[in-house]
Amino acid sequence: MNESDRKFIKASGHDTAYFDTGGNGSVLLLLHGSGPGVSGWTNWGTVAEDLSSAFRVVIPDIAGFGFTEFKDDTPYDIKFWVNHLVSFMDALNIKSASLVGNSFGGAVGIGLALFNPERLEKLVLLGTPAGTFPQTKGLAGAWLYEPSLENMRELMELFPYNTSLITEELVRTRYEASAREGSQDALRKLLPKPSTDGETLVKGFPEKALKNVMAPTLVLHGREDQVVPLRCGHVLSENIPNGDLYVFSNCGHWVQVEQKNKFLKLVCDFAGGGGA
């Protein structure tokens, strides 16, 4: 599978970009994070083929991000994004699936667990916000970003622990996607505007809500994450009734890239046997 395999389908009135490896196996939905130039492919392209040996892998671009349609008059919020995901699943006749959510994508996964639990088998959360925490430099930089190759590289260097993972191709691909009309507007609807006077707080799902997530959940977090702090991983695992936490050393916000082999083994062992 490569980027030219991108398809489109209508969901919640949005032309929705996605990848689908096909097959009759258990469905594994991969949801990307936020950030300028983000898309399903930039988040999951390096692991999609590996996971496809065990699952039918489906990778949508969340409404307003990547190559999925953005509409100025749409009130994007967590309920809309969950409804869009359910509509997307319906369009592909996916009754239920396991879900791997990266950062913001994890928040959408939590929303699915809370609002439509019958559609979710198992949940994997990577670097996912939870509770309330001070806005990090990485999240502030994502809001302040203005499209250019130089600005994209500077922002990307905040994400992995090992910055050698940031290739010229990655910078170019993310920059080109970030320069699409409406892309940065959609992102700024998601993130709080950085305050010029004191601390800016970021709010994920509160502890009270997390206690109602009944799906078996695996929380994966990089110890050196400068975008979503490790404390969020602890908040998730300590409040989700069936939540386990795995912390990766020498790892930032890109668990699936920085610790690819461990990530693949953990996800396959955990989600194997999920139904669709």
Catalytic residue list: 103, 225, 253
The residue count of the chain comes to: 276
197-203 own/partner pairs: CB under 8 Å, 24+ apart:
199/134, 199/135, 200/134, 200/135, 200/140, 201/132, 201/133, 201/134, 201/135, 202/129, 202/132, 202/133, 202/134, 202/135, 202/136, 202/139, 203/129, 203/131, 203/132
Q: Which residues pair with 16 in a beta bridge?
A: 9
What six digits make up the tokens of 182?
């409406």
CA dist., res. 143 & res. 212, Å (int): 31
Residue carrying structure tokens 């409406």: 182
